[in-house]
Chain A
Amino acid sequence: MFIIKNLQASIIDEKQTMQSILRGINLTINPGEVHAIMGPNGSGKSTLANTLAGREEYQISQGEVQFNGKNLLTMLPEERASEGLFLAFQYPVEIPGVNNMYFLKAAVNSIRKQRQLPLLDAMDFLALIKHKIKDVGLDESFLYRAVNEGFSGGEKKRNEVLQMLMLEPSLAILDETDSGLDIDSLQVVAQGVNSLRDGKRSFIVVTHYQRLLNYLVPDVVHVMLQGKIVKTGGKELALELEEKGYGWLENQVIV
């Protein structure tokens, strides 16, 4: 269970003024559900994703988030990760000189250690990752390159999905993972998520477009506008948005 109650967050902008970005988010995600969050640019979707992952520049003024009965907001980012929260980044960063496989092994074992599971040795890890990298359609050579360095946009996103498959989160947040992807990559992302769906794991899929949702069918669709969820519906809501845009919802925002 993942419960967000009245979450409000702001950021201090370049002029040192407080900008309120999340203005009272309420969201309950049951085990096994896929929730899509849609909305125009600047509506606060990515802020929500990053705030949940523990990004420090967002200041939380109110609200609470429960993750498996625990208070998520007091945890460090790495503790949230080991609790099972995964964020597929909108813009994955490059880490020069750090081997992609080394990075993933450090991540997997760091989380296993925090969960008091036995660490994977080099051989087991290698066998596992060679299997998983095929699923995301990347060549094995990507394992030996520096993390995201020189990867194309699509390759970076596939690498995010690879990390998700390796870390097997209980709640995965995909922050516009579909933006800028060709149709093949889009399917890889969708297949990655679908392969993890086991009735227990949950997903928050942040997206601008309906097309990802053709391959990755959501249980619930939310529309975010100006820091609030203004409408919630079933998968057909996504189609409606595609047709009508967001304008018709704007009168529903109560400032």
Chain B
Amino acid sequence: MANHYLKQVVNKSYEYGFITAIESDTFAPGLSEDVIRKISSLKNEPEFMLAWRLKAYHYWLTLTPPRWAQVSFPDIDYQSLIYYSAPKSKKDGPKSLGEVDPKLLETYEKLGIPLHERAKLAGIAVDAVFDSVSVATTFKEKLAEAGVIFCSFSEAVKKYPELIKKYLGTVVPYRDNFYAALNSAVFSDGSFVYVPKGVRCPMELSTYFRINAANTGQFERTLIIADEESYVSYLEGCTAPMRDENQLHAAVVELIALDKAQIKYSTVQNWYPGDEEGRGGIYNFVTKRGACRGKKSKISWTQIETGSAITWKYPSVILQGDDSVGEFYSVALTNHKQQADTGTKMIHIGKNTRSTIISKGISAGFGQNTYRGLVRILPTATNARNYTQCDSLLLSPTCGAHTFPAIDVKNATAQVEHEASTSKIGEDQLFYCRQRGISEEDAVSMIVNGFCKQVFKELPMEFAVEAQKLLEVSLEGSVG
């Protein structure tokens, strides 16, 4: 029946599984205070940064990994992981694209990421993170003209220590959770963005993450600050080689929006998901949170999660400023033995705060897909509103969809709505399409695409195309 085509559609092989042969500076496996000191000194970090890392490390030592998620995997031996790996470069690091190892540029070329002038056409400034370090950031000059700072996290620590001190860890403290604490101790790089007051960032900012080295954890940190009345749209893409062992990716992303500022953060996550038997693949244990600090500020998360063996992430918004807005749009696809436990938290503190959650889970093969969400209305959040819609689509008899929504209302003026649906891809829908002459394969694409449409339309154009390709669906025609 339909299953044959469904398999073809969802089982497209992983295109980004190649390994780049490149010389790297790599630490021996294991984690200790020494390793953290070494990371910090390699990066010439100021004292405050090392002190913060060490506090995080000692706190992490007291923690145990969270076990409440609807995922299962063997314990990770944190002493067998490598905590730092960087492409070898002749000097301190590449100062311009010309100094970047051509092999690396080739890698990004293969991934379809425009690091060169081509990027200008796309209108996207790119920061590329290879294993643990940021290797190149494009369009710095053009952004500088607008006053926008977009650089690697390491560079920001040296050049803008005041901003780092002021904001780092204020949204996701190192005490937040096990993986956030680990990240705070060992993070090796990441991206930093500051958009000054009143500036609309002239282009989309983008980071591509690539894990290459074996047995290496990737721990990057992203910090985005949108000052009053500014706007920035940020895109994040991820890929990794195919390897038989699991690799850990434990990132932290913090967003801060001041008065009337807007941040739009989009992710297309396509880490290697492991093979059909569930061997290998990335453990994607990520903490992402935004704080709407200012009045009328807005933070919007959009994520397309198709990769990783296990996804554990809950991009959230703290709605502190009055009239602030939080949004979460998500498509998560799990196939084979992939597991995803993802969702969001919307914490309403300010008056008239509003949040929207649209979550679309697609499960195929033996995939397990969980939505986990929390909507919390605090006593101060007069007239807060939330709308949650949570839909699951099942493509096989062996997959699963789970929903754990939590709603906690402490203010009687709040309005909270929750809608949920679970459906199997309908034989009726498929037959209807086929009776009209549409092949079964196209019909499946069309139905899945339609299911995800509410989320796809939130993505910037370039990513919308990529996301639809990822789900192997044809772009919806725009007749008329």
A77 in contact with B431 given A56-B1, A96-B451, A97-B450 (CB within 8 Å):
yes
Q: Which of B1, B429, B440, B442 touches A95 (beta carbons < 8 Å)?
A: B429
B437 in contact with A82 (CB, 8 Å): yes
A107 in contact with B436 given A55-B431, A95-B450, A102-B477 (CB within 8 Å):
yes
| Mask: chain A, 85-117; 1 = CB below 8 Å from B; 0 = not | 011010011011111011111111011001000
A146: CB under 8 A from chain B?
Answer: yes
Q: Which of A99, A105, A106, A143 touches B442 (beta carbons < 8 Å)?
A: A106
| Mask: chain B, 410-449; 1 = CB below 8 Å from A; 0 = not | 0000000000000000111101111111111010001101
A96 in contact with B434 (CB, 8 Å): no
| Mask: chain A, 150-188; 1 = CB below 8 Å from B; 0 = not | 000000000000010001000000000000000000000
A76: CB under 8 A from chain B?
Answer: yes
A249: CB under 8 A from chain B?
Answer: no
In the assembled complex, which residues on chain A have CB atoms less than 8 Å from the CB atom of B453? 97-98
Q: What bracket does the count of chain A residues touching chain B fall in?
A: 35 or more
B476: CB under 8 A from chain A?
Answer: yes
Q: How far is the CA of A146 from the CA of B480 in the complex (A)?
A: 15
In the assembled complex, which residues on chain B have CB atoms less than 8 Å from the CB atom of A106? 438, 442, 446, 477
A98 in contact with B449 given A82-B437, A107-B438 (CB within 8 Å):
yes
B11: CB under 8 A from chain A?
Answer: no
A122 in contact with B449 (CB, 8 Å): no
Q: Which of B431, B446, B454, B480 touches A101 (beta carbons < 8 Å)?
A: B480
Q: Is the interface of A mostly helix, strand, loop or mixed?
A: helix
In the assembled complex, which residues on chain A have CB atoms less than 8 Å from the CB atom of B426? 93
> Most chain-B Cβ atoms within 10 A of its Cβ — which of A77, A89, A122?
A77
In the assembled complex, which residues on chain A have CB atoms less than 8 Å from the CB atom of B436? 81, 103-104, 107, 110-111, 163, 167
Q: Which of A76, A108, A114, A163 touches B434 (beta carbons < 8 Å)?
A: A76
A122 in contact with B477 (CB, 8 Å): yes
A64: CB under 8 A from chain B?
Answer: no
Q: Which of B437, B449, B450 touches A110 (beta carbons < 8 Å)?
A: B437
| Mask: chain B, 445-470; 1 = CB below 8 Å from A; 0 = not | 01101111110000000000000000
A18: CB under 8 A from chain B?
Answer: no
In the assembled complex, which residues on chain A have CB atoms less than 8 Å from the CB atom of B449? 97-98
Please, which residue of chain B has its CB at the minimum distance from the CB of A127?
A: B480
B434 in contact with A81 (CB, 8 Å): yes
A126 in contact with B440 (CB, 8 Å): no
B479 in contact with A105 (CB, 8 Å): yes
Q: What bracket does the count of chain B residues touching chain A fall in?
A: 20 to 34
B431 in contact with A167 (CB, 8 Å): no
Identify which of residues 47-88 in chain A touch chain B, using a CB-to-CB cut-off of 8 Å.
53-57, 76-78, 80-82, 86-87
Q: How far is the CA of A95 from the CA of B450 in the complex (A)?
A: 7
In the assembled complex, which residues on chain A have CB atoms less than 8 Å from the CB atom of B447? 95, 98
A93 in contact with B442 (CB, 8 Å): no
Q: How far is the CA of A122 from the CA of B478 in the complex (A)?
A: 8
Minimum Cβ distance to chain B for residue A240 (Å)? 33
A99 in contact with B429 given A111-B437, A163-B436, A167-B436 (CB within 8 Å):
no
Q: How far is the CA of A143 from the CA of B450 in the complex (A)?
A: 15
Q: How far is the CA of A99 from the CA of B475 in the complex (A)?
A: 12
In the assembled complex, which residues on chain A have CB atoms less than 8 Å from the CB atom of B480? 101, 122, 126, 143
Q: How far is the CA of A143 from the CA of B480 in the complex (A)?
A: 10
In the assembled complex, which residues on chain A have CB atoms less than 8 Å from the CB atom of B438? 78, 106-107, 110
Please, which residue of chain B has its CB at the minimum distance from the CB of A121?
A: B479
B479 in contact with A126 (CB, 8 Å): yes
Q: How far is the CA of A98 from the CA of B480 in the complex (A)?
A: 15
Q: How far is the CA of A53 from the CA of B200 in the complex (A)?
A: 56
A87 in contact with B435 (CB, 8 Å): yes
Minimum Cβ distance to chain A for residue B452 (Å)? 7
Q: Which of A54, A97, A99 touches B454 (beta carbons < 8 Å)?
A: A97
A167 in contact with B437 given A97-B450, A98-B450, A101-B479 (CB within 8 Å):
yes
A93 in contact with B428 (CB, 8 Å): yes
Please, which residue of chain A has its CB at the minimum distance from the CB of B438?
A: A110
A209: CB under 8 A from chain B?
Answer: no
A125: CB under 8 A from chain B?
Answer: yes
B437 in contact with A92 (CB, 8 Å): no
B435 in contact with A53 (CB, 8 Å): yes
Please, which residue of chain A has its CB at the minimum distance from the CB of B480?
A: A126
Please, which residue of chain A has its CB at the minimum distance from the CB of B432?
A: A93
In the assembled complex, which residues on chain A have CB atoms less than 8 Å from the CB atom of B434? 54, 76-78, 81
Q: How far is the CA of A104 from the CA of B440 in the complex (A)?
A: 15
> Most chain-A Cβ atoms within 10 A of its Cβ — which of B437, B440, B446, B454?
B437
Please, which residue of chain A has its CB at the minimum distance from the CB of B391?
A: A96
Q: How far is the CA of A80 from the CA of B436 in the complex (A)?
A: 9
Minimum Cβ distance to chain A for residue B78 (Å)? 43
Q: How far is the CA of A193 from the CA of B44 in the complex (A)?
A: 80
In the assembled complex, which residues on chain A have CB atoms less than 8 Å from the CB atom of B439? 78, 110
Q: Which of B432, B451, B479 touches A97 (beta carbons < 8 Å)?
A: B451
> Most chain-A Cβ atoms within 10 A of its Cβ — which of B426, B433, B447, B449?
B433
Please, which residue of chain A has its CB at the minimum distance from the CB of B452?
A: A97
In the assembled complex, which residues on chain B have CB atoms less than 8 Å from the CB atom of A102? 476-477, 479
Minimum Cβ distance to chain A for residue B7 (Å)? 17
Please, which residue of chain A has its CB at the minimum distance from the CB of B476?
A: A102
B446 in contact with A92 (CB, 8 Å): no
Q: How far is the CA of A96 from the CA of B449 in the complex (A)?
A: 9
Please, which residue of chain B has its CB at the minimum distance from the CB of A85?
A: B435
Q: How far is the CA of A76 from the CA of B430 in the complex (A)?
A: 12
Contacts A102-B477, A122-B480, A126-B480 supplied; 20 other A-B pairs, CB < 8 Å: A53-B435, A56-B427, A78-B435, A78-B437, A78-B438, A86-B435, A89-B435, A95-B450, A96-B450, A96-B451, A97-B449, A101-B480, A103-B446, A105-B479, A106-B442, A107-B433, A110-B437, A110-B438, A114-B437, A167-B436
> What are 21 sample pairs from A and B whose C-beta atoms fall under 8 A apart?
A53-B431, A56-B431, A77-B434, A78-B435, A78-B437, A93-B426, A95-B429, A95-B432, A95-B446, A97-B452, A97-B453, A98-B453, A99-B476, A101-B479, A102-B477, A102-B479, A103-B433, A106-B442, A110-B439, A111-B436, A163-B436
Give chain B's interface residues, CB within 8 Å of chain A: 1, 426-429, 431-440, 442, 446-447, 449-454, 476-480
